[in-house]
Structure 1
């Protein structure tokens, strides 16, 4: 059995970068929702925070759907 270490390292690197990116986007979405809630309790408008949070969640959903598509196809 011969292991292609370069390919294994490449898969590990792409998986690590993808995971960190998805977790970062989800975290930014949660921060945006908490800022939106904070601004609404202080009487301000939080449209930008809510929109940014929804964009982050949409990007996470799109990346997950693309990953599932790659697995199934």
Structure 2
């Protein structure tokens, strides 16, 4: 059995970066929703930013599922 260590390392690196980015994006969405509960004037900006973060998370997960199925 021959393992291509370079390809394995590449897959590990990309998956690590994408996972950290996705978790960070989801966290920004949650922070945006929690800021929208505060009595400030930028409630709509925070809520819109949170929804954009959640939409990007959904798009990334959907693309991953598409890549697995296709």
TM-score by length of 1: 0.92
Task: List structure 1 runs of 4+ shifted beyond 2 angstroms.
Answer: 42-45
User: 1:22 maps to what in 2?
Assistant: 22
Distance 2:4 2:16 in 1: 18
Distance 1:72 1:57 in 2: 22
Are residues 1:44 and 2:44 paired? no
Pairs aligned (count): 70
> CA RMSD for the aligned pairs?
1.0
Residues 43 and 20 of structure 1: CA distance in aligned 2, closer, same or farther (over 3 Å): closer
1:59-70 matched pairs, under 5 angstroms: 59-70=56-67
SS at match of 1:14: helix
